[in-house]
Amino acid sequence: MKYVDEFRSGQLAQKLAHELETLVEPGQPLRFMEVCGGHTHTIYKHGIEDLVPPEIDFLHGPGCPVCVIPMGRVDDAIALAERPEVIFTTFGDMLRVPGGRGSLLEAKARGADVRMVYSPLDALELARRNPDREVVFFAIGFETTAPATAITLLRARAEGVRNFSAFCNHVTIGPPLRTILESPGLQLDGFIAPGHVSTVIGTVPYEFMARDYGKPVVVTAFEPTDILHATVMLVRQLREGRCEVENQYTRVVCREGNPRALAVLDETMELRDTFEWRGLGWIERSALGLRPEFAAWDAEARFELPGSRVDDPKACQCGEVLVGAIKPWECKVFGTACTPERPIGTCMVSSEGACAAYYNYGRLAKRRERVPA
Amino acid sequence: MKPRRTRFRDEVITLAHGAGGKATRSLVEGLFVPELGNPLLAPLSDSALLELNDSRLAFTTDSYVVKPIFFPGGDIGDLAVNGTVNDLAVAGARPLALSAGFVIEEGLPADDLRRIAASMARAAEHAGVPVVAGDTKVVERGKADGLYVTTAGIGTVAPGVELGPERVRPGDRVLVSGPIGDHGMAVMIARGELQLEVDLASDTACVLELAQALLTLGGAVRFMRDPTRGGVATVLNELAQACGCAIRLDENALPVRPEVVGTSEILGIDPLYVACEGRLLAVVAEDAAETALALLAAHALGAGAAIIGEVRSEPAGLVLLETSFGGSRVVDMLVGDPLPRIC
């Protein structure tokens, strides 16, 4: 298929893999974090680890929008969904995420009106068609999906749709990256930085990583040759003694980002003082809430929420997986107590979650590591 | 399928339990089998095989809950007939008779029901099988999605026909009779929620003639299935676990229409998990693979047939995909329905 096959070309992949081999110093390990869950998914889906030299290790980052939602927020979502007047709308990935008392899919089975949508605009349309119901949209994701929520809020206000609201859980990518860079004992040589977030925020927000922390960064697209290409770019920076933010995803990302998307974000949302992240704890100024002018469309302002706080299950090591401290299979419960059928942690739920991606696609690589060739 | 002791621990039934993946399997093996299990049910295949005097009967049933009930390429009526005929066909049987049960929601236009009955009649005639028994129930508005149809079928299995996972051997080849994922994707698009305009029709069709053609190869045909709910990946996972072998698929060889590839890319869904309703998946001996392919391709329904992989001894119980990119990965069974990704 056009625009897909070109970026999955086995021939091109071989060329890039060969180049990597000539660039890497044998026996000297290089650890790169792919920040985005989409990258993790691609790495496992296409078997990229089979193509890179053994010196290169990919570590999974915090960029899976589903994985970073804390259990308490899921419980709040379920509380909203269980209100009789509410039609609760959500992206499909969130349906199976476990909170302290089950998932939205289970709430739906018990009678809550939970519906999967593909865009917040679909939720707004539901509100127009159901004027006697309250339609709540479970707004999650990084700056990638936040502009769609913003546009929907602006449209709801312009059209005077009063029975629509957003339960806002949008987060920003910069603060968790800083948290990772600040973590003691950090062993990272560079970052494969997210692509789609960067279409909105541009590449400037990553410059502190190179400047203040001395880590090379390459903003990267999501096809397998993109990831190989980015890996080559990172190794080249290291070999040439450079440390900068480079843009591999030039076909859609520019340095300044998307000013229109940033403008609608700024118009509708503001940084919260603090927000809880699954596994990472509370991070200051790391998430977006609706501005007071949009209180009429803010589910947190319009409905009484339990404000649930649920500690991550003790056995769950999602936090360590999300900062690249451990590999998914090094978690105590990976593949035993925690599986896609019965996830304990969020990383096992979404197809972008490192654990789910590893479990679904990668168990073979794990076997190989256990039995050295 | 190997008998395994699994306990069903979920507190409520969710949609995932009906999606054909791991959750369905745990429901069947953990809740139904402990209560209803018996030697004839034990293989948990699409059709049960019953011995009667000197002949063998295949017996199967299936319920159809598709939404919308009319979709490009077919409707719930021909789907219900073809699906059950196909379950018999892949067991190596020739269908003898079908039954049909209708759960109708009040308010369904009679013309819709008439169209569906006519489409069932056409499908039954095409398959050469009469609908010999039926049942009708009407439920209150809101209690059924327009119409649910349940069909059951019996058929005869000719002497000498032996199919099953236990007959599969390393080196055998895996074939599919045409492009995968058409039905599931066509129905998803027909729901209109995606606002995609894609020229794609369901593949709903009767695979009886394809199955009978392959059976002329005798013992070289090891195993047949129709990859419906859960798609090719789910059927092959069940097979890999039942036969204790590995199945290696070649991504380059998988027949998938560009329309299905494109829609899958947009939604973040893998066509390997999307339902087909008119495809046959077969495992045949290595030296018969090319002949089998020619037999399938000679039929109008087999245009696009392909050898998509082979059976290996290791790693037992897993399905692997050699990606066109040059890597490899595990193709696991999903828990529930494939859910579209956020971004």
From the list B9, B193, B330, which residue is nearest A364 (CB)?
B330
**What is the rounded CA–CA span in Å between residue B45 and residue B226?**
11
Contact call for B265 and A47, based on CB within 8 A: no
Structure confidence by residue, pLDDT tens digits, A38-74: 999 899 888 898 889 999 999 988 888 888 999 999 9
d(CA B91, nearest CA chain A) in Å: 30
List beta partners, residue A190: A32
Interface membership of B28 toward A (CB under 8 Å): no
* End-to-end Cα spacing for chain B: 37
Residues in Cβ contact with A355 at an 8 Å cutoff, skipping those fewer than 6 apart? A318, A321, A328, A331, A334, A338, A345, A347, A348
For B283, other C-beta atoms within 10 Å of its C-beta total 29
- Residue B315, exposed/middle/buried by CB under 10 A (0-12, 13-18, 19+)? middle
pLDDT confidence of residue B54: 87
Q: Which CATH superfamily is domain A71-173+257-302 in?
A: HypD, alpha/beta domain 2 (3.40.50.11740)
How far is A179 from A172, CA to CA, in rounded Å? Answer: 12
Smallest CA–CA distance, residue A185 to chain B, in Å, is 32
Per-residue pLDDT tens over the stretch A81-105? 999 999 999 998 899 888 888 899 9
User: Are B330 and A145 in contact (CB < 8 Å)?
Assistant: no
Per-residue DSSP letters for B113-140? HHHHHHHHHHHHHHHT--EEEEEEEEE-
Query: What does the DSSP 8-state code read for residue B244?
Result: T
Note whether B299 and B220 are within 8 A (CB).
no
Distance CA B126, CA A178 (A): 66
Instruction: Return the CATH fold of B48-157.
Output: 60s Ribosomal Protein L30; Chain: A; (3.30.1330)
Nearest CA in chain A to B21: A341
Residue ranges of domains in chain A: 71-173+257-302, 318-368
Q: Do B13 and A91 touch (CB under 8 A)?
A: no
- Measured from the Cβ of residue A27, the count of other Cβ atoms closer than 10 Å reads 7
A329 shares contact with chain B (CB less than 8 Å): no
- Closest Cβ–Cβ partner in A66, A91, A105 for B15: A105
pLDDT values of chain A reduced to their tens digit, one per residue, 373 residues: 777 788 888 889 999 999 999 999 999 999 999 999 899 989 988 889 888 999 999 998 888 888 899 999 999 999 999 999 999 999 988 998 888 888 999 999 999 999 999 899 999 999 999 999 999 999 999 999 999 999 999 999 999 999 999 999 999 999 999 999 998 888 899 999 999 999 999 999 999 999 999 999 999 999 999 999 999 999 999 999 999 999 999 999 999 999 999 999 999 999 999 999 988 889 999 999 999 999 999 999 999 999 988 888 888 888 888 888 888 888 999 988 998 888 888 888 877 788 988 888 876 555 444 333 2
- DSSP-assigned states of every residue in A161-175: --SEEEEEEEB-SHH
| Start-end of CATH 3.30.1330.10 domains in chain B | 48-157
Give this prediction's pTM.
0.87
For residues A224 and A286, what is the distance between their CA atoms, to the nearest angstrom?
A: 30
With an 8 Å Cβ cutoff, are B339 and A360 in contact?
Answer: no
- Contacts of B213-216 with C-beta under 8 Å, sequence gap 24+, read B213/B295, B213/B296, B213/B298, B213/B299, B214/B280, B214/B282, B214/B284, B214/B292, B214/B295, B214/B296, B215/B92, B215/B158, B215/B161, B216/B295
Amino acid at position B57, single letter: L
B165-330 CATH, one of 3.90.650.10, 3.40.50.1820, 3.30.870.10, 3.30.110.40: 3.90.650.10
B329 Cβ under 8 Å from any chain A Cβ? yes
Task: Work out the angle at residue B314's Cα, subtended by the Cα atoms of residues B312 and B316, and round it to the nearest 5 degrees.
Answer: 100
pLDDT of residue A367: 45
* Cis amide bond preceding A62, omega within 30: no
Going by C-beta distance under 8 Å and a sequence separation of 6 or more, which residues neighbour residue A42?
Answer: A48, A222, A223, A224, A226, A227
CA A193, A356, A5, B268 dihedral sign is negative
At A139, give phi and psi (nearest 5°). -85, 110
Angle at A61 between CA A243 and CA A142, to 5 degrees: 100
* Residue among B84, B109, B83 at smallest CA distance from B96: B84
**Rounded Cα gap, residues B156 and B103, in angstroms:** 28
Q: Which of A46, A144, A249 to mutate to test the interface with B (most CBs of B within 10 A)?
A: A46
Tell me the residue ranges of DSSP E strands in chain B: 48-52, 55-64, 70-71, 74-75, 93-105, 131-139, 147-157, 173-176, 221-225, 246-250, 281-284, 306-312, 319-322, 328-330
